[in-house]
Structure 1
Amino acid sequence: MTLLATLPGHDPAAPALAVSGLHVRLGRTGIVHGVDYAVEPGRTLAVLGESGSGKSVTARAVMGLIRPPTGAVTAGSVRLRGVDLLTLPEETRRRLRATTIAMVFQDALSALNPVLSVGYQIAELFRAHLGLSRKEAHRRAVEVLDLVRIPAAARRARDYPHQFSGGMRQRVGIGLAIALNPQVIIADEPTTALDVTVQAQILRLLGEIQREHGTALVLITHDMGVVADVADRVAVMYAGRVVEQGGAAELYARPAHPYTEALLGAIPRPQLRGQRLAVIPGAPPDPADPDPGCRFRPRCGYGTDACDQAPAALQIAAGRLAACHEWERVTA
Structure 2
Amino acid sequence: MTRLESLPGYDAAAPLLAVSELRVRFGATTVVDGVGYEVDGGQTLAVLGESGSGKSVTARAIMGLVRPPRGAVTAGSARLRGVDLLTLAEEERRRLRGTTIAMVFQDALSALNPVLSVGYQIAELFRAHQGLSRKEAARRAVEVLDLVRIPSAARRARDYPHQFSGGMRQRVGIGLAIALNPQVIIADEPTTALDVTVQAQIIRLLGELQREHGTALVLITHDMGVVADIADRVAVMYAGRVVEQGAAAEVYARPAHPYTEALLGAIPRPELRGRRLAVIPGAPPDPGRPEPGCRFRPRCGYAGDACGQQPPAREIGPGRLTACHEWERVTTP
Which residue number corresponds to residue 325 of structure 1?
325
C-alpha displacement of 1:196: 1.7
Which residue number corresponds to residue 74 of structure 1?
74
Alignment of 1:118 onto 2:122: no
C-alpha displacement of 1:201: 1.4
C-alpha displacement of 1:2: 6.3
C-alpha displacement of 1:288: 0.2
Residues 71-104 of structure 1: per-residue CA shift (max 9 Å, x gap): 0100000000110111110000000000000000
Residues 229-287 of structure 1: per-residue CA shift (max 9 Å, x gap): 10000000000000000000010000000000000111111111111110000000000
TM-score between both structures, scaled by the size of structure 1: 0.99
Give structure 1 stretches of 5+ with no counterpart: none
C-alpha displacement of 1:131: 1.0
1:161-176 to 2 correspondence within 5 Å? Answer: 161-176=161-176
**Structure 2 CA distance for aligned equivalents of residues 122 and 26 of structure 1:** 32
Does the CA contact (< 8 Å) of 2:44 and 2:219 recur in 1? yes
C-alpha displacement of 1:27: 2.3
> Which secondary structure state, in structure 1, belongs to the residue aligned with residue 228 of structure 2?
helix
Which residue number corresponds to residue 102 of structure 1?
102
> Which secondary structure state, in structure 1, belongs to the residue aligned with residue 285 of structure 2?
coil
Alignment of 1:261 onto 2:244: no
Residues 23-57 of structure 1: per-residue CA shift (max 9 Å, x gap): 00122211000001000100000000000000000
**Structure 2 CA distance for aligned equivalents of residues 285 and 2 of structure 1:** 42
Does the CA contact (< 8 Å) of 2:2 and 2:92 recur in 1? no
Root mean square deviation of aligned Cα: 0.9
**Structure 1 CA distance for aligned equivalents of residues 74 and 104 of structure 2:** 25
C-alpha displacement of 1:291: 1.2
Percent of aligned pairs sharing the same letter: 85
Which residue number corresponds to residue 235 of structure 1?
235
Runs of 4+ in 1 over 6 A off after TM superposition: none
AA aligned opposite 1:21: E
Alignment of 1:139 onto 2:139: yes
**Structure 2 CA distance for aligned equivalents of residues 166 and 86 of structure 1:** 33
**Structure 1 CA distance for aligned equivalents of residues 82 and 137 of structure 2:** 31
AA aligned opposite 1:294: C
- Tell me which moved more, 2-11 or 214-223: 2-11
Does the CA contact (< 8 Å) of 2:2 and 2:95 recur in 1? no
AA aligned opposite 1:192: T
> Which secondary structure state, in structure 1, belongs to the residue aligned with residue 218 of structure 2?
strand
**Structure 2 CA distance for aligned equivalents of residues 27 and 189 of structure 1:** 25
Alignment of 1:307 onto 2:304: no
AA aligned opposite 2:264: L
Which residue number corresponds to residue 244 of structure 1?
244
- Tell me which moved more, 124-133 or 96-105: 124-133
**Structure 2 CA distance for aligned equivalents of residues 267 and 85 of structure 1:** 36
> Which secondary structure state, in structure 1, belongs to the residue aligned with residue 220 of structure 2?
strand
**Structure 2 CA distance for aligned equivalents of residues 224 and 17 of structure 1:** 22
**Structure 2 CA distance for aligned equivalents of residues 207 and 227 of structure 1:** 10
C-alpha displacement of 1:194: 1.2
> Which secondary structure state, in structure 1, belongs to the residue aligned with residue 227 of structure 2?
helix
AA aligned opposite 1:215: T
**Structure 2 CA distance for aligned equivalents of residues 13 and 214 of structure 1:** 16
> Which secondary structure state, in structure 2, belongs to the residue aligned with residue 225 of structure 1?
coil
AA aligned opposite 1:131: G
1:1-332 to 2 correspondence within 5 Å? Answer: 3-332=3-332
TM-score between both structures, scaled by the size of structure 2: 0.98
Give structure 2 stretches of 5+ with no counterpart: none
**Structure 1 CA distance for aligned equivalents of residues 54 and 75 of structure 2:** 15
AA aligned opposite 1:299: R
> Which secondary structure state, in structure 2, belongs to the residue aligned with residue 18 of structure 1?
strand
> Which secondary structure state, in structure 1, belongs to the residue aligned with residue 271 of structure 2?
helix
C-alpha displacement of 1:209: 1.0
> Which secondary structure state, in structure 2, belongs to the residue aligned with residue 282 of structure 1?
coil
> Which secondary structure state, in structure 2, belongs to the residue aligned with residue 122 of structure 1?
helix
> Which secondary structure state, in structure 1, belongs to the residue aligned with residue 34 of structure 2?
strand
